[in-house]
Amino acid sequence: MSAPFIALLPAQGPSLSSLYNADLPPSEQPNRPAPSSESPSSPTPPDTIPQLFIDAMTVRTSVFVSEQSVPLSAEFDSDDPRSFHWIAYASVSTSSTSSDTASPSVTRRTPVATIRLVPPPHPPDPYTSAPLPSEPFCKIGRLCTLKPYRGLKLARTLMDEMMKWAAGHADEVMGLEGRGRSEAEKAVEREKMRVGWVERSTAELGGNGGNGDDAALREEAEQEWRGLVLAHAQKELKAWYEGMGFKFDEEMGEWDEEGIMHVGMWKRLELKS
């Protein structure tokens, strides 16, 4: 297989939640873009789900829902709208034949692997009671590859691409892109993040919406991200993550997430100034 084409989808914000129906597979989304021969990175029409996100969800649904029996409704979550998504594409040639003629082969890009990066801040982890760092950290997750394309190191390629990008875009990870912005402007953005995630903590995780969770989110949102990343890794992939430089968190231990055992793995990226 030739080198994969990798595309990055920046965080889409709350509008994605109103456009994407978690109870439907990607192919049946009413707000999906019309079929096009253009690049999946082409501009997205208003009120339409980006093709890149449809592609990421197509891979995730095939692996996590069809193979690993994760409920379809649980695959899209409230982290997706604020996450950065990477999608790897393979070039696939297709041709059609009839009894009389054969059509020329057509090469198209097919999504085959994906990963996402969830920026700070984070509400309390619902899967473990272990203490988490007070400093901001990103979460890595939803890393998967379609079965026919495994063994080609696509997961490693995506992980490398994601970590390289994150190390060079710390302000963008924190929603503070543009190093020319004033500290006052950045403070406003941090407060917006904090308010949004206090609301999520209260609505979804049973947070107290203004006491302990609020204080923790405020503290995390007001700090600079220093490259710390957490992976909720499937237990069977622990050694693979260790090979990528992640360290197992014994205090977090193991937990069942949608019927699959997971472990916590940490790594600190060396940020580029």
pLDDT of residue 125: 83
**Cis-peptide, bond into residue 133, ω within 30° of zero:** no
pLDDT at 43: 73
pLDDT at 133 (0 to 100): 87
**Model confidence at 253: pLDDT above 50:** yes
Cα(121)–Cα(135) distance, integer angstroms: 9
Q: What are phi and psi of 18, to 5 degrees?
A: -80, -20
Q: Is the pLDDT of residue 249 over 80?
A: yes
| pLDDT: which is higher, 148 or 93 | 148
Tell me what percent of the residues of the chain surpass a pLDDT of 70. 74
CB < 8 Å & 24+ apart, contacts of 211-217: 213/123, 213/124, 216/124, 216/134, 217/121, 217/123
User: Which pLDDT tens digit goes with each residue over 151-176?
Assistant: 999 999 999 999 999 999 998 998 75
Quick one: pLDDT band at residue 178, thresholds 50, 70, 90?
Answer: very low
Mean pLDDT across the chain: 83
pLDDT at residue 228, rounded to an integer: 96
Residue 206 has pLDDT above 70, yes or no: no
Q: Per-residue pLDDT tens for 104-142?
A: 666 788 999 999 999 988 888 888 888 888 889 999 999
pLDDT at position 191 is 56
pTM: 0.81
pLDDT at 204: 46
Least confident window among 3-17, 27-41, 135-149, 249-263: 27-41
CB 38 within 8 A of CB 118: no
